[in-house]
Amino acid sequence: MSEQTLDFHPVPGIRLGTAAAGIKYPDRKDVVIIELAEGSTCAAVFTRNAFCAAPVTVAREHLAAIMPRYLLINSGNANAGTGNDGLRAARESCKAVAAARGCAINQILPFSTGVIGEPLPVDKIAVAVPDGLTSLSELGWETAARAIMTTDTVPKLVSRQFDYAGRQISVTGMAKGSGMIRPDMATMLAYVATDAMVDKHLLQRCLEQAVEPSFNSITIDGDTSTNDACVLIASGLSGAPPITDDSSQAFADLCDAVRDVCMALARAIVKDGEGATKLVEVQVEGATDLQEARDVAYTIAQSPLVKTALFASDPNWGRILAAVGRAGLQNLDIDKVRIWLGDVNIVRDGGRASDYSEAAGQRVMSQDEILIRVALGRGDAEVRVLTCDFSYDYVKINAEYRS
């Protein structure tokens, strides 16, 4: 059976190529090169894990020095927890691309995903670079989205368009991630490109605004990877005037499109969580501030007891109640707290809702997509977090990950 073809809009000025380096599996495409047109701008956010991977350190250094011409991505090896040897390996990988293209080493941004603690096979990557460069194409998004996968079961590729000054602006993005997901900017990598012309400072602001409600509001297992990165590129080849004013309608439309792409990719990551069978949205409202709302939402979303009940379609609402209670809120008035499963009120007035029935709870828990809503009755702040259930397969996948 042939693989499903994904719909996307090519981005003028952005070309992607792939190659098989045999980093973890033979004959599998595991190297991606993204070429940025001359004059492109680039923004990025990275993991907050203190043990950030060598490519994260090198990419930060290079991006601070000069706008990149190429991104070099490999799957199968994270090059994390590898010390100075890992830094040298990341730079040597960049050198292979730079030498082939006649550009400076710091015009290459490296990214890696895979097993932590193993030496990066630079020689294999260097041998694969020519094939990756030869295959560069504006139509290379789908192949690239597949090449960056590790435990993902499906590629993640999303496109949007909007009109500006008589031109149609494209925004296309791809991501990988299935486990070790709680981005703090999992192993998560995301690359989004547009053909708009955007000042780099505005591009960075656009990215940060998009990341917060999307990649920074998802969790599969609460583990922040050493390698998280999200990159936003603007090639400037749409033919439309440059976007230079952060109060303009064009900037607002760009931010909306980028946020929409990131939200769709984030949702796809959670839906494809390792062993996941249910997509779950946790909505917390009525908090005193955003941090309090996040504390409650993540306590629920990352509770193994809640997540296993979700997998079993078991309306064991006491686990949700307990999670809210242990989220660390000071002076919580439990009589004001209300909790819903979908449209079913399960908790109010300090205990089980008087009109709640097990059958109603079971109806919601049997669905593939579930909303858990909590109203704290303390203020106006609210957040939404996406998560999934824990299945037998999650344990199996992660127990056998290195084998």
Asked which of 35-39, 217-221, 231-235 is least confident by mean pLDDT, the reply is 217-221
Eight-class DSSP state of 135: T
**Alpha-carbon distance 37 to 14, whole Å?**
6
Condensed to tens digits (0 to 9), the pLDDT of residues 264-275 reads 999 998 888 777
Write down the pLDDT at residue 239. Answer: 96
CB 285 within 8 A of CB 373: yes
Q: Which of 82, 187, 224, 387 is catalytic?
A: 187
Write down the pLDDT at residue 185. Answer: 38
Q: Spell out the SS3 assignment of 244-281.
A: CCCCCHHHHHHHHHHHHHHHHHHHHHHHCCCCCCCEEE
- The DSSP annotation for 70-114 comes to EEEEEEEE---S-HHHHHHHHHHHHHHHHHHHT--GGGEEEEEEE
Write down the pLDDT at residue 4. Answer: 52
**Residue 57 appears among annotated catalytic residues:** no
Q: Which helix (H) or strand (E) holds 132?
A: helix 122-134
Predicted TM-score (pTM) above 0.75: yes
Q: What is the mean pLDDT of residues 349-356?
A: 95
Q: What is the mean pLDDT of residues 371-391?
A: 94
Write down the pLDDT at residue 225. Answer: 63
Question: What domains sit in the chain, N to C, each tagged with a CATH number?
Answer: 14-271 (3.60.70.12), 279-399 (3.10.20.340)
Model confidence band, residue 141 (pLDDT cutoffs 50, 70, 90): very high
Which residue, among 191, 169, 190, has the nearest Cα to 236 in the 3D structure? 169
**Alpha-carbon distance 250 to 244, whole Å?**
9
Condensed to tens digits (0 to 9), the pLDDT of residues 44-94 reads 999 887 888 999 999 999 999 999 999 999 999 999 999 999 999 999 999
pLDDT of 183 over the 60 cut: no
Instruction: Give residue 54's Cα distance to chain centre.
Output: 19
pLDDT of 375 over the 60 cut: yes
